[in-house]
Structure 1
Amino acid sequence: MGRAPQDQAELSSHIRLCIESGYEAEIDSYLDSDEYQQKFGDNIVPYYQGAQSQVGSKQVGYNRTLSLYQGYAGVDSAFKGSRLVDEVASNQGGKIVLPSKGGRLGISKDATVKTFKILVKGAKFDAPRRISTTEYIVPGDRMSPQIQRIHRAGGKIVSITEVA
């Protein structure tokens, strides 16, 4: 549906359907629902929608969706247990936790003052080399031009690590 469960009744109905009629019937109940058809139809892959304010939606749905959303590269197997079972069962909203802990969603303000080491394999510029890998120490504000030069010269970037 692109959102977290609204309440215990919604969750219970899907659990009951899965137990009584099987997994396929439970999945079909989502795909055949009016809500799913209005949001996605037959040709759109479902995506997160509960992280936006919507007319007629409960505030708790917004909080729960944000607690499930992990960003574009998120994976469910990174979590050992349920993140919503207590909230839904007790009909309470939880604390909103931002999707990426410790990671950056964009360019950091301090990235330009840091220095990075770029390890390159197979570049064809500079003098002829006998070694197959080359290291470049680059200030953060010069990363893009250096990466462009490496790619133009046919080099393959093996790693980029922060030095200072």
Structure 2
Amino acid sequence: MSNFPVLKEYSIKHQNEIIDLILHIQQKEYNVAITKDDQPDLLCIKDFYQTGNGNFWVAIQDDTVIGTISLLDIGNQELALRKMFVKKEYRGPKYQVGSRLLNNALRWANEKSIKGVYLGTTPQFVAAHRFYEKNGFESIEIEKLPASFPVLEVDKKFYRYLIS
């Protein structure tokens, strides 16, 4: 087993693994009452995320999806960071999956001349809050989100990353 997973742009062959990973983390680890039906974007990743300045990536270890991240184009050279999930065993500094996924997405945003990346998260994801803050995201009130930002019902904490 190599130390570092490979990052790849989404392809349909990973769709079921992506859904399984995300639902497991949401439902089993964090007890978030959300289903596949509540997330129709998971059934049409290419059409939903891989348009305009958006994209979706997976981290692959030994032919298995162990992480995801996406950027949704919300117009006005702004993006919404969505679907950032890393399998429990791959979190933290040993494999750097979260950092690598985030850095890849922010590099993409910079190359696309994006002004800012915004995200919403749930109160339960405390480790994620620390991760985003450590990586240059600032906590903001919901009123500071772009009007086009898609606020999900479960999202109660919001962040932005301004690209210079």
TM bin, normalised by shorter chain, reads under 0.3
Which one has the largest radius of gyration? 1
Higher strand share: 2
What is the TM-score of this pair, normalised by structure 2?
0.25
